[in-house]
Amino acid sequence: MPRDTVPIPGKIEKIEILSHDGKLDTKLEPKLPDADLRKLFRYMLFTRMLDERCLHLQRQGRIGTYGPCKGQEATPLGVAYHLRKEDWFVPSYRELSGFLWRGWPVDRYMLWWGGHEIGSSIPPEVNDTPICVPIASQVQYAAGIAWGAKLRKDGTVVACFCGDGGTSEGDFHEGMNYATVFKVPLVMIVQNNQWAISVPRHKQTASQTIAQKAVAYGIDAMIVDGNDILAVLVAAKEAIDKARNGGGPTLIEAITYRLSMHTTADDPKKYRSEAEVKSWEAKDPLPRFRDYLRKKKLLDEKIEAVMEEDIRNELDTAVAKYEQYRHDPYAMFDYMYAQMTPELARQKQELKAALGGDVAPQRETARTHG
């Protein structure tokens, strides 16, 4: 028999609508209400300002190690915009704009980075999972949630996020394989921010793109400019609609960049050049979207100044509320298992004796979300 090539189904589309130099593809431009466009910009601005405030709080010793999301505001927000209340949002730890859109209180976000257990408690009536730092472990949770949604036949969609480094983890591949075999309503968004801490993307995988990995799973994929919120909005809508209508999962590779450090525990100047950062600063999603709205006469300096003042006031209130929280030093024992083990109970009493005090009452009880 002669040698032949194997025809492998699948396609990868690439989407960019608003380039970093302001060029707009009007044929692909999403038709959103003016009020929604302004709202999206405010959430992007809120995300940037909250991110900067948390960085300052960390430097002042008022929260713990912090993972900034500067430069990655567009992708989670563009996805969250198209999700329904009953849909699931399964994040990693740079999806702040999506958290805010989904209804997370700002002080709750600060509590998480402040090391308080209550920061992992999902707000009532919000179908999200907590911030997830163990890399790519959330992909398997998302696949399981999506499988449950398919069994219930309730039209629920699950949007899951991880980074480019996460695609090197077995959890990612296991979750994606499961999702495609069982054709579950999952949208997998990979925020390719070019760096897995200090490891560049080209050392993570030999694949030309991350999106092409979807071909091996037997599903379609899209590559989207993750700094172009218009492109994210279009790609997310297509993938979410497909999942909701029984079309199964989609992989979206969002090309973006982490403009700040991985976390406040590392120094990015040791592993990447200033020239590289500068080149990506020119593609910053926030000024790109700002310029787009100004050209449409939906935004000006006066409107933005009012937004900034309102956001500062909200942040001041949130910081004050966060710092009023009374920390329970024994809470770390309470949420490890549904029922505390004898060994943990012994350790809790040992700590109590060492600190010489009673167990402090919590201001709020973390809620088990199921």
pLDDT in tens, 175-231: 999 999 999 999 999 999 999 999 999 998 999 999 999 999 999 999 999 999 999
Considering the candidates 84, 271, 346, 363, report the single residue annotated as catalytic.
271
* Cα–Cα distance for residue pair 227/283, rounded to 1 Å: 7
Residue 328 has pLDDT above 90, yes or no: no
* Cα–Cα distance for residue pair 128/230, rounded to 1 Å: 24
Q: Is-catalytic flag, 258?
A: yes
Q: What is the pLDDT of residue 362?
A: 45
Residue 322 has pLDDT above 70, yes or no: yes
Instruction: Please state which of the four CATH numbers 3.40.50.970, 3.40.50.1470, 1.10.10.10, 3.50.50.60 is assigned to the domain occupying 12-324.
Output: 3.40.50.970
* Cα–Cα distance for residue pair 37/123, rounded to 1 Å: 26
Contact 6, 205 (CB under 8 A): no
Which pTM does this prediction carry?
0.92
Residue of 19, 55, 59, 10 whose CA lies nearest to 288: 19
* Cα–Cα distance for residue pair 347/31, rounded to 1 Å: 58
Considering the candidates 262, 288, 322, 330, report the single residue annotated as catalytic.
262
Q: What is the pLDDT of residue 164?
A: 96
Residue of 68, 121, 120, 79 whose CA lies nearest to 265: 68
Of 61-65, 245-249, 302-306, 334-338, minimum mean pLDDT range = 334-338
User: Residue 35: which residues within 8 A CB-CB, separation 6 or more?
Assistant: none
Contact 243, 157 (CB under 8 A): yes
Residue 59 has pLDDT above 80, yes or no: yes
* Cα–Cα distance for residue pair 218/332, rounded to 1 Å: 42
Residue 8 has pLDDT above 90, yes or no: no
Considering the candidates 109, 258, 288, 322, report the single residue annotated as catalytic.
258
- Token look-up 């994210």 returns 232
Q: What is the pLDDT of residue 332?
A: 84
Q: Is-catalytic flag, 369?
A: no
User: DSSP code of 62?
Assistant: S
Q: Is-catalytic flag, 367?
A: no
Residue, of 125 and 48, whose pLDDT is higher: 48
* Domain edges within the chain: 12-324, 330-370
